[in-house]
Amino acid sequence: MNLSDMGFPRQLEADYGTDVIRRVLTERTCKLWSGGNLDVPLIAMNDPLKKALQAAVLKGRLRCGFEGALHKLNNEKTGIAHVRERSDVSHGERISRLILLANDGAERFYRHVEQLLRSHASRLLGCLLDTDGSILGKLVTGKDRQIKLVMAEHKDAVSEILRAILGEQGSGAKPSAGGSRTGIKGALARLPHTR
C-alpha cells in the first residue's frame, strides 16, 4: 500500500494536510501475513477510535465481515466504471472506504484481504488494529461476536475514524465537531516494533 499516492477525504486534508496524515499512518506499519509484501498501518485501539466506530455503527455506515465488504466494493467498482465510461470529466482518486482488521485472523484471511486492498487500492485504505476479533465484535455489535473486519463505507465515517486515529498530530490540526482528540503516539509506543 503506497500512501504517498493516496488522496484522502478533502475536509481531512484541509484540517491536517496530506503530509501529516501520511506521516501518522506510516509511523508503525506491518505486513498482514508472513509472505505478504503489502505494508499496512498498525493502529492502537483507543477511546476516540472506539467512539468513532460506535458512531459509524449508529449511522449505519459500518459493514462487518470480509464477504460483505468484498461484495460492496465490487458493486461500487462496477458502478464507478460505468459512470467514468459516460463522462468526460476526470475524477480524482481519494480514499473513500476504510477497512479495519482484527489482529487474530488466519493467514489465509489476511492473504484475501491483501488481494482486496490491491484490487481497490485507489479508494480503499486498510489498517490492522492492535485488538482481537472478540473485542472488535463486542465493540461494534454489543454482543459476544468474533468480527475480523469492519469497513467504513461512507466518506464521512472514513473521515471521522481517521480523525480519531490521527489525534492531535501536527500543527494546525483542528478539533472535530465530535469533541476532544487524543493522539495515538503514546499508544503506539507500547506496541511491539513491527517495521
User: What backbone torsions phi and psi does residue 126 show, to the nearest 5 degrees?
Assistant: -115, 140
Question: Does residue 156 register a pLDDT over 50?
Answer: yes
Question: Does residue 82 register a pLDDT over 90?
Answer: no
- CA dist 132 and 144 (Å) reads 12
User: What backbone torsions phi and psi does residue 140 show, to the nearest 5 degrees?
Assistant: -90, -15
The per-residue pLDDT for range 162-181, each reduced to its tens digit, is 999 998 553 344 433 333 33
What per-residue confidence (pLDDT) applies to 157? 96
User: What backbone torsions phi and psi does residue 38 show, to the nearest 5 degrees?
Assistant: -110, 120
- CA dist 133 and 95 (Å) reads 24
Question: Which residue stretches of 27-101 are H helix?
Answer: 47-58, 66-86
- CA dist 104 and 29 (Å) reads 16
CA-atom Rg of the chain in angstroms: 16
* CB proximity list for 88: less than 8 A, separation 6 or greater: none
The per-residue pLDDT for range 102-153, each reduced to its tens digit, is 999 999 999 999 999 999 988 899 999 999 999 999 999 999 999 999 999 9
Tell me which CATH homologous superfamily contains domain 3-85+92-170+183-189.
Ribosomal protein L30/S12 (3.30.1330.30)
What per-residue confidence (pLDDT) applies to 81? 67
User: What backbone torsions phi and psi does residue 12 show, to the nearest 5 degrees?
Assistant: -65, -45
89 alpha carbon, distance to own chain's centre: 28
Per mean pLDDT, which of 1-5, 17-21, 52-56, 183-187 is the most reliable? 52-56
* Beta-bridge mates of residue 124: 97
- CA dist 38 and 117 (Å) reads 9
Please provide the average confidence, as pLDDT, over all residues in the chain.
83
